[in-house]
A and B are shown apart, each in its own frame.
Chain A
């Protein structure tokens, strides 16, 4: 079983819809949680970064962490065609250099 599980999709939604992405994990030591966005043929870029449990909002993006359920989510409100990309979750414990990544979910927002 992988340490981080992420539904690969693909996910196709109409413009303006809410996109919901999630990851589950097995390592209770994870404390830092990240979401990266990767456009086709580009490198991953950081979208959201959260520490421990709770919510964080940045514009149309909201990240949620539920450590009791070992579950993290990313919501994209009022989705735009420019949000079409692969979204990767990543996480790490306090005392590690390495990130554990999900496989990525490919999202297409239809105009």
Chain B
């Protein structure tokens, strides 16, 4: 009963390095999301994919790119990491409009 699986769980990068965060869900959900969580800021939406083949910007998309690889998988890429991207990243999925979102366990990223 995996739900939403994120890899890696932890990562340390140097400024300017690139990396891809992976997310997969096994609930046959249509929609997938990427959030970042910073102290005192709550969850902020980076990008989302309403359905396979579509992606849209959220509240804080700058410095990130996403790929909806198929219905199960949604990746987040940092092309040139900056210290301001140090955060905890969560992937989530849902059936669609107005529906409950189910979250993964998160990726803790530090950019030095």
Q: Which residues of A contact B (CB under 8 A)?
A: 6, 8, 31-32, 34, 36, 41-46, 49, 88, 90, 92-99, 101-104
Compute the total of residue contacts between A and B using a CB distance below 8 Å.
Answer: 53
CB pair A43–B105 under 8 Å, yes or no, is yes
B98 in complex: contacting residue of A31, A46, A101, CB < 8 Å: A31
Contacts of A34 in B (CB 8 A): 100
CB pair A43–B41 under 8 Å, yes or no, is no
With A43-B105, A44-B103 known as contacts, the answer to whether A94 contacts B97 (CB < 8 A) is: yes
CB pair A92–B98 under 8 Å, yes or no, is yes
* Chain A, residue nearest B9 (CB): A41
CB pair B104–A43 under 8 Å, yes or no, is yes
CB pair A101–B43 under 8 Å, yes or no, is yes
Q: Which residues of B contact A (CB under 8 A)?
A: 4, 31, 33, 40-43, 45, 48, 50, 58, 90, 94, 96-98, 100-106
- Complex Cα spacing A96 to B98, Å: 6
- Complex Cα spacing A8 to B41, Å: 10
CB pair A8–B40 under 8 Å, yes or no, is yes
Contacts of A31 in B (CB 8 A): 98
With A92-B98, A97-B48, A98-B58 known as contacts, the answer to whether A43 contacts B42 (CB < 8 A) is: no
With A95-B97, A103-B41 known as contacts, the answer to whether A46 contacts B105 (CB < 8 A) is: no
- Complex Cα spacing A90 to B4, Å: 19
Contacts of A101 in B (CB 8 A): 42-43
| A36, A43, A45, A99: residue with the most chain B Cβ atoms closer than 10 Å | A43
